Structure 1
Amino acid sequence: MPSTSSTPASPTTRPSPSPPPSHPFKNSTSLLVVIPDGIDVEEESRLYDDLCDDQQRPAPRSPKGPPSIFSRDIWLGDNSGESRAFARDVKISGWTSVGDKLGGAYIVYDCVIRTKEGTTMHAHKRYSAFVELYEDLRRTLPRHQQHFILALPPKSPFARYRPAFLDKRRRQLQYWLSAVLLHPEIGACQAVRFWVMD
Structure 2
Amino acid sequence: MTIINEIIEIVNNEELEDILNIGWIDRDEEIRRFVPLLNTIFLEFKSKCLKIHRKQNTDFEISMKLIDKHEIFNEKSYNEVFKKYEFCTSSLLNMFLYENRIQNFITKIESYSETEEKYISGIVKCIGFEVMNNSYIFLNPLSYNTIEIGKKQEWDQWLRELTDDGPGILLNYNPKQLLLKEWRRLTNG
**Taking structure 1 as the reference length, what is the TM-score of the superposition?**
0.23
Indicate the structure with greater helix content: 1
Indicate the structure with greater strand content: 2
**Bigger Rg over Cα:** 1
